[in-house]
Amino acid sequence: MDLLDYLPGVPDFPKPGIFFRDISPLIANPAAFKEAICQLEILASQFKYTHILGIESRGFIFGSALALHAQKGLVLARKPNKLPLATHRESYGLEYGTDSLEIQQSTLPKGARVLLLDDVLATGGTLVAADKLIRSAGFEVAGSLTLLEIEILNGRKLLTKHQIENRSVLKS
């Protein structure tokens, strides 16, 4: 099964010049979604981790399925002002603007080793921000996973610069 067949590209979304990969067909197809989670779990097994950090919002989908499958805890990295308790925050740049991520200060236990999970590695900015967020909160980052790496955007170079090990199921 070629999972790229289930990730159609949408040109000029959310703004001109961006080639957006839509995960909707993949998660709507039970066999493709299951295959994606199985492949993510194979890659995740290469890391020693206690929790998965699902990055808003598409990282929540893959993170929750993988956490359940791997029997690991799930932590949500949310956009600003979405969490009810005190948070840690990290701002970052996107290929089409800027944003921030937050986690609740009370979510992770002492000694947690966190595996970062997002759907796409594009420029790398979101994963670097998630790494900084987890480290500044006093936890270890085990590595990062993505379903898809868009190689032309060279996000892996930024991850390497920040010493973040990444594994991706697919490359395009």
Express each pLDDT in 157-169 by its tens digit.
Answer: 999 999 999 999 9
Contacts of 44 (CB under 8 A, 6+ apart): 52, 66, 70, 115, 145, 167
- For residue 26, the one-letter residue type is L
Distance CA 147, CA 152 (A): 16
**Any idea what the CATH number is for the domain that residue 111 is in?**
3.40.50.2020
| Residue 3 within any structural domain of the chain | no
Express each pLDDT in 27-74 by its tens digit.
Answer: 999 999 999 999 999 999 999 999 999 999 999 999 999 999 999 999
Look up the domain containing 133 and give its range: 21-171
Number of domain units in the chain: 1
| Residue 8 within any structural domain of the chain | no
- For residue 132, the one-letter residue type is K
- For residue 92, the one-letter residue type is Y
Annotated catalytic residues are 58, 95
Hey, how many other C-beta atoms are within 10 angstroms of the C-beta on 135?
Answer: 14
Q: Please state the pTM of the whole predicted model.
A: 0.94
Q: Is the Cβ–Cβ distance between 158 and 150 less than 8 Å?
A: no
